[in-house]
Amino acid sequence: MRVLVACEESQRVCTAFRERGHEAYSCDIQECSGGHPEWHIRGDCLPLINGGGYSFTTQDGQIHRIDGKWDLLIAHPPCTYLSNCGAARLFPHKGELNRERYELGLQGKEFFMKFYNADCDRICIENPIPTRIFQLPPYSQTIQPWQFGHPYSKKTCLWLKGLPPLMPTEIITGNIISWVSGGSKDGHGNPRKQSGTTFRDSKTKSKTFEGIARAMAEQWG
């Protein structure tokens, strides 16, 4: 199976599919941190998502070509301005809309919809619960890390096309810790206190949990 994992520098989903014998590639404007530059495309992912005989170069300098469409597209578009966690900054005061942040949210939605409308028979888009004002399409399901062997709570939405719902693999019922709580900053732009974690950087918070990545490869591969 030929798999493109868009907006992924961690390579966790890409690696999970590679471990099961699939031709998977991660793609992001950042260098990969997953240790496999030979599977990573550094650059804009939009020219790639529809397949169609497009040649590309992985981070190790090798040229590859995918003829026809991808068999599976998994996308993690940026959620900074779309997430419901940012509503406090979108509406800093009751009845007052932050126009700059709203325009950035519209740009984020446009980017999101490129993946949603991609020419691929099997699509998964992952994002937090979105702010209603941007009117994204209804998501197909929500998942939690504690359903896949990690003792954390972080509700994540999946928009699915041509794929069955992702089924839990290892449910944890006790000592669940909140992975994030309301984003990195509050409505006044001040850093939030750590909520059971030892970090605050957005890159670490956004990495796909290994258990969820394995479930995607096992169930959709």
Strands (E), 58-151: 63-66, 72-75, 123-127, 141-143
Q: Indicate the CATH number for domain 2-220.
A: 3.40.50
**What is the model's pTM?**
0.88
Q: How many Å apart are CA 102 and CA 176, to the nearest integer? A: 34
Task: Measure the CA angle with vertex 46, ends 52 and 40; round to 5°.
Answer: 90
Q: Can you tell me the mean pLDDT for 99-111?
A: 93
Going from N- to C-terminal start, the domains of the chain cover 2-220
β-pair type (63-66, 54-57):
antiparallel
Nearest to 118 by CA among 219, 41, 45, 63: 45
pLDDT in tens, 126-159: 999 999 999 999 999 999 999 999 999 999 999 9
The candidate with the shortest Cα–Cα distance to 125, out of 79, 155, 157, is: 157
Position 119 scores a pLDDT of: 95
Residue 82: per-residue pLDDT: 87
- CB neighbourhood size of 169 (10 A): 14
The length of the chain is 221
Instruction: Tell me the backbone φ, ψ of residue 220, rounded to 5 degrees.
Output: -110, -5
Contact 58, 39 (CB under 8 A): yes
CB 124 within 8 A of CB 216: yes
Sequence-separated (6 or more) residues with CB below 8 Å from residue 210: 12, 16, 150
d(CA 17, CA 215): 10
Cα–Cα distance list, 152 to 9, 100, 176 (Å): 22, 33, 5
Q: What is the pLDDT of residue 194?
A: 45
Instruction: Report the pLDDT value the prediction gives residue 197, as an integer from 0 to 100.
Output: 45
Residue 202 pLDDT greater than 60, yes or no:
no
What is the pLDDT, as a whole number, of residue 115?
98
